[in-house]
Amino acid sequence: MLRELHIQNLAVIQDITVEFHAGLNCFTGQTGAGKSLVIGALEILLGLRAPTDMLRKGAKEGRVTGVFHLASENLRQEIALATDLPLEQEPELVIARRLFESPGGSRTSASINGHPISGTMLKHVGEILVDVHGQHDAQFLLKPANQLAVIDDFGGATPLRRQFADLFHQRQTLLAQQKELTASRTLRRQQLELYDFQAKEIDDAQLVPGEYEELTARNKVLSNLEKIKRSASAAFAALYEDEGAAIERLKGIMSLLLELSELDESLAPIAAQVKDATLNLDDAALSLSRYTNRLDVDPAQLAEINDRLNLVNRLIDKYAGRGAQGLDEVLAYRQQIGQQITDLRAQDQDYSTIGDQLTVLEKQLRTVGADLTKARKKAADKLTPLVHAQLADLGMKEARFSVEFQTIASDLAPPAPQLNQKAKTENRKSPLDAAPLSLADFSTASGLETAEFLIAPNPGQPARPLRRIASGGELSRIMLALKSILAQRGDAGGIGGGDRVAVLVFDEIDANVGGRMGTIIGEKLRTLASFHQVLCITHLPQIASFADRHLTIRKQTSGSPSAGETITTVTVMDGEPRLHELAEMITGKDISPTSLAQARELLSLASPKSPPKKKTAK
């Protein structure tokens, strides 16, 4: 419930604090005193109305603060989700909105319990906390999409709706995947064919890491075999076989030095070095001889090496690209396309199974959608007579209320005929009872049909959508009738039932309504206030007499009429002041004993005979 509203520097309001009661709070006062301004301040506070040019003249800053007490944990959780703030354990909610003067126009800021929030968050919180009904406001119940939600909540079909929505979104995801796979199917097939060819080409080559270096070295040897053999043989001859060969001469030098070392021991190290060099060179000459003997020219082997090297070079040039590091990059590319081949084949497998998954989902959608349709029709059948009874109490006995359903047709199918209450009374089958819908018919997450509340206020008039009712008085009474029914169910979604809306606001609900209906409307409002806190602006004493808290708004001017300052005050009326306020509402300022007696009688008649069965304030 809204406990307190503090308004500073807003239009003609300088600084007022309004405290509210848990039940029915009525605002009275002369026209232009600022009654609607208080409701407007509440709307500004909750982001439901733009504060354009609302800053009080001469003020640099305005402020609206509201203190809400939320006993409902569900409501606190919903607000916490909407604002991403830790509010679940805080029953007190302080919402503040500040207005600042700026050269480019007024700017605002908003906070909840001291935490800054965005304008979008604020509006979401406002829609959760308060439902405002004014003469010209587009209300929750006037929107066909919300009317469908009302039917679902009223009929207890919300779980079916959620189930349908979940299946619907699963199907949308699969359809998007299928569309993407279908669009890329040709390209995917071409890529798979290319990758398969490339993988086969590389696999057939049976490449081995390090092979390229070995082939290059072997090719170099075989290509220069004659030269190598000739030069190696000449080197061996110079070392070992020719006259005066190097090894033979070294052996002579070695013998000489060994003899000298016996005469001079200081030559022993030199003799040892020459000896080691002679022996090493002798081993090298023998190794060179064996190497030369192994060199055989085999043209077939050279051709085989050349062919293999050409194959490896071609694969390197083809798959490694410029600056490639040889065979390793070819092998890495083979591994890469191997993963891509696996992915592409998996996508083909996904494509083939998506159809089966869609078939299953669409069957479930038809089943759940049919159950949802039946629940909605049943709820509409129950709601219609209840609305008729409420309208009769409100002086609209001849008004006829109905719920019109219409199947959702896709662009690929002709529009479906309408389904309404008349179809049942004439014992005709509904279009929704016909053959299963085509795949394209699942176009929204809310079900297989839309809903529209229709009203024919007078006999002979055609039923028209509720949102197109021209008379403000009729619309006010219809809204009151609907909200009275839905609030008493305690589960009526966003229109005042259960935990969804804490405060219901009626801005001049008695507009275009005579005093004869005032008592009935007052009774309805008090009944509604047994389930929710209700704020109501009224000009009728019959309605004001039912208030649990009666507040009077007055406008005063200080100073001269031309240069004075206008301020608005809010006063709680009780006891004799309230009696005089009601009397003044009856006869004007000339209060008489008769008008006082009439006011006293109104209060007596409005006094509840017994406490309400349910008195909650969220």
How does pLDDT run across 25-42, given as a tens digit for each residue? 999 988 766 777 888 899
- Distance, CA of 387 to CA of 396 (rounded, Å): 10
CB 356 within 8 Å of CB 174: no
- Distance, CA of 614 to CA of 117 (rounded, Å): 35
Question: Does 584 have pLDDT greater than 70?
Answer: yes
**In the structure, what pLDDT confidence band is assigned to residue 56 with cuts at 50, 70 and 90?**
confident
In the chain, what are the helix, strand and coil shares in percent, each to the nearest 5?
55, 15, 30
CB 483 within 8 Å of CB 109: no
Q: Where are the alpha helices (DSSP H) in 84-184?
A: 119-129, 144-154, 158-183
Considering the chain, what is the average pLDDT of its residues? 80
Question: Does 136 have pLDDT greater than 50?
Answer: no
Which helix (H) or strand (E) covers residue 365, if one does?
helix 327-393
- Distance, CA of 337 to CA of 350 (rounded, Å): 19
Q: In what order do the strands lie in the sheet with 549-558?
A: 130-133, 503-507, 533-537, 24-28, 549-558, 565-573
Residue 5 pLDDT = 94
- Distance, CA of 582 to CA of 596 (rounded, Å): 8
Per-residue model confidence as pLDDT tens digits over 91-107: 899 999 999 887 666 68
Residue 475 pLDDT = 72
- Distance, CA of 581 to CA of 601 (rounded, Å): 14
State percent of the chain over pLDDT 90.
20
Rg (alpha carbons) of the chain, rounded to whole number? 47
Per-residue model confidence as pLDDT tens digits over 69-87: 988 887 888 888 888 888 8
The two structure tokens encoding residue 270: 């030199």
Q: Say if strands 61-69 and 449-456 run parallel, antiparallel, or are unpaired.
A: unpaired
Per-residue model confidence as pLDDT tens digits over 462-488: 888 887 875 666 777 777 888 788 776
Q: Across residues 377-387, what is the average pLDDT?
A: 93
In Å, how far are 145, 440, 603 from 606, measured between CA atoms? 37, 57, 5
Q: Where are the alpha helices (DSSP H) in 394-453?
A: 421-425
Per-residue model confidence as pLDDT tens digits over 178-236: 787 776 677 777 888 888 898 998 889 888 888 888 888 877 777 777 777 788 778 88
**What are the E-state strand segments in 351-463?**
400-407, 418-419, 449-456
CB 143 within 8 Å of CB 448: no
- Distance, CA of 315 to CA of 321 (rounded, Å): 10
Q: Say if strands 24-28 and 533-537 run parallel, antiparallel, or are unpaired.
A: parallel
- Distance, CA of 90 to CA of 113 (rounded, Å): 9
In Å, how far are 92, 93, 290 from 87, measured between CA atoms? 9, 8, 93
Least confident stretch, 107-111, 165-169, 245-249, 492-496 = 492-496
Q: Across residues 440-456, what is the average pLDDT?
A: 82
Q: Using alpha carbons, select from 367, 431, 413 the residue that is nearest to residue 167.
A: 367
Residue 139 pLDDT = 59
Residue 242 pLDDT = 77
State percent of the chain over pLDDT 70.
82
Residue 183 pLDDT = 67
CATH class (in words) of the domain with range 1-134+474-618: alpha beta
Interhelix angle 119-129/73-83, nearest 10 degrees? 160
Q: Using alpha carbons, select from 452, 460, 484 the residue that is nearest to residue 476.
A: 484
In Å, how far are 5, 27, 158, 508 from 477, measured between CA atoms? 27, 19, 27, 11
- Distance, CA of 387 to CA of 35 (rounded, Å): 30
Residue 427 pLDDT = 42
Spell out the domain ranges in the chain.
Answer: 1-134+474-618, 190-319
Length of the chain: 618
Residue 137 pLDDT = 45
Per-residue model confidence as pLDDT tens digits over 123-133: 888 888 887 76
